[in-house]
């Protein structure tokens, strides 16, 4: 079973109030009150002037052990929410690898899982490292994105987006502090694409709580555990009220879902769970032997969860 060797997060220093972003997007005061008072958003972190490559390099540079293990990184996976981000021949992933001294690694992106792509990347790293049989090899998963269009600044009725990024080193050997016990993923392709956006959005909102509850229960069962035995859920940063309702439905304590980053960072695409992990560890709240689930839903739609022992 693979492990997290190290996880780092980069939160850009510029904190922008959602009222400012809301005005840019044409949101009225009533909509902004909902996002602030009910959904829990207050500010997001943005990086004016920084490129996607800059943000990835910043996240990797925050990994304390990276300079010592750089030569062991065999795979680099960028989990991208936006399927198309840059015109050919620009490639921020390859640019970042060059700046980080990772030209020797196999580098590629995963898409179509949207914000669930980060957990897919971790799973793929573990599978590839286990297959190639090199106990010293590592995988590097990069999450979080540059917001390059007006549309990407928010998910209607769900979140305001930020530019925080994260990097995770993965090993398939018995090394690393966090053992990955299970991964589960389910796709609902009926919500991918299509022209009837309003109808699809309404249907997705109906399916969402049940689908998320199922993936949480499934990943715990795969690890031979009950959801009640999980100490923390590290969620994607969407409306707080949706997580509170889900906890009531599952009978899971709402105070064990880490929602502290929502008013600080906004929703940072597939980086949310990794940034939440970093905050829990840095604040001394995650203890050795405890279990946590990184859980997320990607538009399109894919639900995913990874259960880990710290």
Lowest-confidence pick of 32-46, 78-92, 120-134, 136-150: 78-92
pLDDT of residue 197: 46
Per-residue pLDDT band at 168 (split at 50, 70, 90): very high
**Domain-wise residue ranges, the chain:** 3-171, 178-309
Taking only the tens place, the pLDDT of each residue in 231-274 is: 999 999 999 999 999 999 999 999 999 999 999 999 999 999 99
Reported as type and span, the H/E element at residue 168 is: strand 165-171
Q: Which residue has the tokens 């999980």?
A: 230
Could you tell me if 289 and 310 are in contact, meaning their C-beta atoms sit under 8 angstroms apart? yes
pTM check: above 0.75? yes
Taking only the tens place, the pLDDT of each residue in 83-92 is: 777 778 889 9
pLDDT at 20 over 50: yes
**Residues of the chain with pLDDT > 90: what percent?**
80
pLDDT of residue 198: 47
pLDDT at 205 over 90: no
The answer to whether the 3-171 and 178-309 domains have the same CATH topology is: yes
Q: How many helices and strands (H and E) does the chain possess?
A: 10, 13
DSSP string, 81-141: SSS--S-TT--HHHHHHHHHT-TTSEEEEE-SSGGGHHHHHHHHHHHHHHHH--TT-EEEE
Per-residue pLDDT band at 193 (split at 50, 70, 90): low
pLDDT of residue 160: 93
Could you tell me if 168 and 41 are in contact, meaning their C-beta atoms sit under 8 angstroms apart? no
What is the CATH class of 3-171? alpha beta
Q: Considering the chain, what is the average pLDDT of its residues? A: 92
Tell me which of 3.40.50.620, 3.40.47.10, 3.40.50.1000, 3.40.228.10 is the CATH number of domain 178-309: 3.40.47.10
pLDDT at 52 over 60: yes
**Smallest Cα–Cα separation from 73: which of 123, 124, 125?**
125
pLDDT of residue 83: 76
pLDDT of residue 174: 74
Can you read off the two tokens belonging to residue 153? Answer: 């600044």
**Smallest Cα–Cα separation from 139: which of 259, 286, 4?**
4
**Residues of the chain with pLDDT > 70: what percent?**
97
Tell me 287's DSSP state. P
Per-residue pLDDT band at 196 (split at 50, 70, 90): very low
Q: What is the rounded distance in angstroms from the CA atom of residue 11 to the CA atom of residue 122?
A: 21
Q: Distance of CA 264 to CAs 31, 64, 294, Å?
A: 19, 24, 19
pLDDT at 69 over 60: yes
pLDDT of residue 191: 78
């Amino acid at each position: 079973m693979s492990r997290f060797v190290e996880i780092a997060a980069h939160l850009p220093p510029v904190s922008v109030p959602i009222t400012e972003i809301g005005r840019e997007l044409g949101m009225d005061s009533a909509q902004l009150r909902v996002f602030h008072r009910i959904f829990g958003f207050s500010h997001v972190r943005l990086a004016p002037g920084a490129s996607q490559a800059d943000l990835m390099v910043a996240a990797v540079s925050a990994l304390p052990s990276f300079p010592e293990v750089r030569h062991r990184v065999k795979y680099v996976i960028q989990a991208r929410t936006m399927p198309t981000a840059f015109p050919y021949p620009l490639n921020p992933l390859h640019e970042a690898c060059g700046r980080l001294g990772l030209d020797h690694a196999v580098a590629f992106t995963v898409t179509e899982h949207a914000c669930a792509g980060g957990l897919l990347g971790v799973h793929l790293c573990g599978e590839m490292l286990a297959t190639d049989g090199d106990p010293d090899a590592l995988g590097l998963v990069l999450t979080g994105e540059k917001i390059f269009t007006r549309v990407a600044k928010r998910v209607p009725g769900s979140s305001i987006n930020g530019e925080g990024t994260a990097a995770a080193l993965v090993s398939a050997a018995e090394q690393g502090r966090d053992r990955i016990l299970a991964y589960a993923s389910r796709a609902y392709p009926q919500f991918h694409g299509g022209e009837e956006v309003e109808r699809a959005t309404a249907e997705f909102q109906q399916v969402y709580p049940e689908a998320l509850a199922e993936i949480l229960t499934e990943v715990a069962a795969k690890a031979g555990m009950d959801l009640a035995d999980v100490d923390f859920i590290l969620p994607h940063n969407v409306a707080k009220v949706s997580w509170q309702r889900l906890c009531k439905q599952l009978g899971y304590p709402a105070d064990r879902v880490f929602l502290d980053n929502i008013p600080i960072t906004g929703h940072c695409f597939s980086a949310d769970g990794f940034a939440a992990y970093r905050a829990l560890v840095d604040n001394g709240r995650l203890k050795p032997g405890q279990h946590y689930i990184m859980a997320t839903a990607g538009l399109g739609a894919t639900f995913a969860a990874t259960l880990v022992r710290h």
